[in-house]
Structure 1
Amino acid sequence: MDNTLKYNEPWILQRADPYVYRHTDGTYYFTASVPEYDKIILRKSDTLAGLQSAPETEIWHKHESGPQSIHIWAPEIHYLFGKWYIYYAGGDKDDIWAIRPYVLECQGDDPINDPWIEKGKMHRAEDDEFSFEAFSLDATVFEVNGKWYYIWAEKVGVGKQISNLYIARMKNGYTLDTVQVLLTTPDYDWERHGFWVNEGPAVIQRNGKIFVTYSASDTGIHYCMGMLTADADSDLLDPLSWKKERYPVLGSDASVGVYGPGHNSFTVDDEGNDIVVYHARTETEIVGDPLYNPNRHAMLMKLKWEDGRPVFSFS
């Protein structure tokens, strides 16, 4: 293993919602929310450790007005349907919480140097009247048995709005093929600190199972990770195919000085070992609004496996 990698301590500073993707040629790409929430950046390296010092390239900047002009959040880079895509969310300066999911498509094979074009807001299925009409963000995609799926968070209700996770099958890189299905809603007390939140889904597949981690509660020290599990050969659009963990699979740990871990992604190190990429804070007292405090840092964790299931541990 590359011994320059260190775990459960700040790895890339002030980069929240970190996403690491290892392409089929072994190249690593990194993207994340920046504190200014005004751009999408990419880093590229031949090694996981190399991402820490790799130069950042801004591949897209927010609009001056209208949709996508504020709160550019949680980009993820993926390769599907033969092209590079970036999924991200953005708001409107005139309605800053009008957060919606958007898509960029690369017009070449080099996501750092080739141009990206906007595909606009993610397109819902023709018979879907509801998706992306309200606060929607944190989309991720994954492939099972030749089919691609899209999972995202969207708020519903009035008054104290609730952020749920939904899933749909994809037709192409920017269009859904099926109506949304509810995966999880904040049922438990640990999902309801500050806000009732399920968001930030991430997918890892092993041992014939699909594991979806997600983040819950507000973005301070109560932020934590839950998990859903389904059989890979089940109907993933059937909510009954999914089992939700009763308790968080990862939360704050004062003994290691990691607070509010969440919004993770999964990758592998140079030897193929599973790695959790997540953001967290190193302080308990947050200055100002947690959303605008920049000190959420990208960190790494070695993912363990017991009885065919992922185990998240700081030790």
Structure 2
Amino acid sequence: MSKTSIETEQLQNPIVFTRADPWVYLHTDGFYYFTGSVPGYQAIEIRRAKSLNELENGEKKIVWIAHDEGPLSQLIWAPEIHFIHDSWYIYFAASDHAEDRNQFYHHRMFVIENNHVDPFEGTWVEKGQVITQFESFSLDATVFELRKTLYYVWAQQDPRIPGNSNLYISEMANPWTLKGKQTLLSIPEYPWEQIGFMVNEGPAVIIRNNKVFITYSGSATDENYAMGLLWADADADLLNGFSWHKSVEPVFKTSEKNAQYGPGHNSFTTNKQGEDILIYHSRPEKNQSGDPLANPNRHAIAQVFTWDEAGFPVFGEPVANTKSEEKVIK
């Protein structure tokens, strides 16, 4: 039996229940650090464990609470924890009111910082809003470093472009400040990106085989949610839109056979053997009624993936859960 198949059997899914937009980072201390959208959208929680399977019951802590009012008071979405230049950063989106559907267009992107070596210790300090070149609905930021340059990738609405959000990239002056131009990477142009909402969001970056790959998610967050793929050569100018290519079809989508619906908003990590792991959220059934964002049954799933001869990721089909859904929302 191959090492990959052994690891796949060992993963017990969901690795964390009721956490959409899951982000996992394997640090040099041997811990997997996890964060994701907490039901109710009023706090940022981090977890850690020495294995992915232990994250559900691992050490956890609320490190930041939404404000009582103002732009950091509502709908705290999609936090990501990163370790950059010897400090910890959490990127997230927040809104200033939540009365109706228009709340979504109030979202902006923010970052908090902790200079302690241990993110469960020290103080998380608000560094403020990440300012983009135009002011509009924006969310789902991620960062990556290549050749000592720090890049920021995010989703934002441009009122001149039909749809809810597009993907952009910019260089960063520091972990909370953009510099130079921001480049449009992708718009929701294909039918699979336009079901319910015209959306490109939830970018995640993995650098392999001399290429920079960006996965992202499209359509509404119900069973139609699916993942797409962008890529550029690692030695290309990443701020030149012509350096990037886009898959016409989704690269990861609903599996009715395995009862995984709307897989997306992923992140990447590795297991202790160095194999690449896809982390994503998925629902165990189709959304029955109402706004799918109000349904907390998106759970964090982990599975090994491979690479083809051309050096592109092969994500396969979402795996079936091995643990039954917990009834208590945590």
TM beyond 0.5: yes
CA deviation after TM superposition for structure 1 residue 295, in Å:
0.5
Does the 8 Å contact 2:15/2:53 carry over to 1? no
- 1:268-279 equivalence runs, <5 A: 268-279=270-281
Q: Deviations over 1:205-231 (max 9, x none)?
A: 111011100000000010000000111
Q: Distance in 2 between matches of 1:122 and 1:34?
A: 22
Does the 8 Å contact 1:286/1:293 carry over to 2? no
Q: Distance in 1 between matches of 2:141 and 2:180?
A: 16
Q: Distance in 1 between matches of 2:192 and 2:7?
A: 36
Q: Distance in 2 between matches of 1:2 and 1:304?
A: 12
Q: Which residue of 1 aligns with 2:27?
A: 23
Q: Which residue of 2 aligns with 1:280?
A: 282
Does the 8 Å contact 1:199/1:215 carry over to 2? yes
Say yes or no: does 1:309 pair with 2:312.
Answer: yes
- Partner of residue 123 from structure 1, selected from 122, 131, 137: 131
Say yes or no: does 1:32 pair with 2:39.
Answer: no
Whose helix fraction is larger, Structure 1's or Structure 2's?
2
Q: Distance in 1 between matches of 2:137 and 2:39?
A: 20
Q: Secondary structure at the match of 2:44?
A: strand
Q: Distance in 2 between matches of 1:219 and 1:5?
A: 28
Does the 8 Å contact 1:87/1:101 carry over to 2? yes
Q: Secondary structure at the match of 1:291?
A: helix
Q: Distance in 2 between matches of 1:2 and 1:162?
A: 38
- 1:214-253 equivalence runs, <5 A: 214-253=216-255
Q: Distance in 2 between matches of 1:67 and 1:203?
A: 28
Q: Distance in 2 between matches of 1:203 and 1:252?
A: 21
Give ranges in structure 1 of 5+ residues lacking alignment. Answer: none
Q: Deviations over 1:94-116 (max 9, x none)?
A: 77331000000003111012210
CA deviation after TM superposition for structure 1 residue 160, in Å:
6.1
Q: Which residue of 2 aligns with 1:70?
A: 74
Q: Which residue of 2 aligns with 1:6?
A: 11
- Partner of residue 199 from structure 2, selected from 188, 194, 197: 197
Q: Secondary structure at the match of 2:192?
A: helix
Q: Distance in 1 between matches of 2:54 and 2:287?
A: 31
CA deviation after TM superposition for structure 1 residue 271, in Å:
1.4
Q: Distance in 2 between matches of 1:18 and 1:190?
A: 22
Say yes or no: does 1:51 pair with 2:58.
Answer: no
Q: Which residue of 2 aligns with 1:96?
A: 103
RMSD in angstroms over aligned alpha carbons?
Answer: 1.7
Does the 8 Å contact 2:26/2:33 carry over to 1? yes
Q: Distance in 2 between matches of 1:5 and 1:114?
A: 34
Q: Distance in 1 between matches of 2:37 and 2:19?
A: 6
Q: Deviations over 1:291-315 (max 9, x none)?
A: 1110011001211111211011136
